[in-house]
């Protein structure tokens, strides 16, 4: 019953999030602030993870290719496909669900328990619109950019690992990157972050906004935000894959 109640409440929340803002100028400034928090501040961790993720995919692929019938360029091909189709859009989003999701839930949750949200409501401000909409817009703007960055860095990380380990030459790796390249794969990889950005920002805001109690409950909301946004991302990923690729 509680699940149904929460789903209903989530959609009612979305209705207020997307109602007309009081003042566009204020919202515009808030969006820029959120772009910094959600997007720019996530770049270091995404860059680090992507480079090592690409490197490990390359090493694993090269180390497990026993058949002499498989050309060595396959390493570059598999690294590209894995990165573009799944690792960069999905794994990076799951990691950002932890980083950004907990941040949003604890920020909004703290505002709830310290009555800052009540203060907004008393002033006549649509608190959901004011707090959540800029996060959603900032997420939709920054996630695809972060995913593109991750794709590039992951492939470069793979190249570095291939050359450094001597398992594959630079030319072979680049040749593999060009094998059966379809633009639609990139399109598919870039559709997903829009959905995941929406899920992370709204689910985390939902758990933060409806926090009741004190500091312990803020922590609990933060955990719930990460768990449920991760589960929702995985389910959405499955359905999107089926919908777009098959």
Partner 1 sequence: MIEVKGVNKSFGDLDVLKGINAVFEPGRVNLIIGQSGSGKSVLAKCIVGLHEVNTGEILYDGRNFTRMNRNERKEVRKEIGMLFQGSALFDSLTVEENVMFPLSMFTKMSKEEMRERANFCLDRVNLTNRNHLLPAECSGGMQKRIGIARAIAMNPKYLFCDEPNSGLDPRTSIVIDNLIKEITYEYNMTTIVITHDMNSVIEIGDHILFIYDGEKWWEGSKEEILKTDNPEINDFVYAAEFMKQLKGKLGS
Site residues (CB under 8 A) for partner 1? 22-23, 26, 110, 114-116, 118-119, 121-126
Specify the residue, 58 or 201, whose C-beta has the smaller distance to partner 1.
201
Quote the CA–CA distance of 232 and 201 in Å, as a whole number. 12
Residue 201 Cβ vs partner 1, minimum distance, rounded to whole Å: 18
Specify the residue, 29 or 170, whose C-beta has the smaller distance to partner 1.
29
The two three-digit tokens of residue 169, written as one number: 């030459």
Distance between first and last Cα of the chain: 34
Q: Are 42 and 149 in contact (CB under 8 A)?
A: no
Residue 55 Cβ vs partner 1, minimum distance, rounded to whole Å: 38
CA distances from 14 to 51, 132, 179, 207 (A): 36, 9, 43, 13
Cα–Cα–Cα angle for 34, 109, 31, rounded to 5 degrees:
15
Residue 135 Cβ vs partner 1, minimum distance, rounded to whole Å: 14
Per the listing, tokens 């290719």 go with 65
Residue 21 Cβ vs partner 1, minimum distance, rounded to whole Å: 10
Specify the residue, 119 or 231, whose C-beta has the smaller distance to partner 1.
119
Residue 127 Cβ vs partner 1, minimum distance, rounded to whole Å: 11
Specify the residue, 60 or 126, whose C-beta has the smaller distance to partner 1.
126
CA distances from 35 to 17, 31, 135, 142, 167 (A): 18, 6, 8, 7, 40
């Amino acid at each position: 019953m509680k699940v149904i109640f929460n789903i209903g409440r989530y959609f009612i929340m979305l209705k207020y999030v997307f109602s007309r803002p009081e003042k566009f100028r204020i919202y515009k400034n808030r969006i820029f602030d959120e772009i910094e928090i959600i997007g720019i501040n996530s770049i270091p961790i995404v860059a680090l993870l992507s480079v090592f993720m690409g490197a490990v995919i390359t090493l694993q692929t090269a180390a497990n290719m026993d058949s002499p019938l498989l050309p060595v360029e396959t390493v570059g091909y598999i690294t590209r496909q894995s990165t573009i189709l799944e690792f960069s859009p999905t794994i990076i989003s799951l990691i950002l669900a932890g980083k950004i999701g907990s941040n949003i839930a604890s920020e909004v949750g703290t505002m709830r328990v310290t009555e800052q949200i009540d203060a907004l409501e008393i002033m006549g401000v649509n608190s959901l619109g004011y707090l959540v909409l800029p996060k959603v817009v900032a997420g939709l703007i920054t996630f695809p950019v972060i995913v593109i960055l991750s794709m590039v860095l992951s492939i470069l990380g793979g190249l570095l690992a291939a050359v450094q380990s001597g398992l594959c030459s630079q030319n072979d790796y680049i040749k593999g990157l060009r094998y059966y390249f379809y633009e639609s794969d990139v399109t598919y990889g870039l559709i997903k972050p829009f959905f995941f950005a929406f899920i992370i920002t709204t689910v985390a805001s939902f758990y933060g906004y409806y926090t009741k109690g004190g500091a312990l409950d803020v922590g609990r909301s933060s955990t719930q935000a990460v768990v449920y946004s991760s589960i929702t991302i995985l389910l959405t990923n499955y359905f999107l894959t089926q919908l777009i690729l098959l």
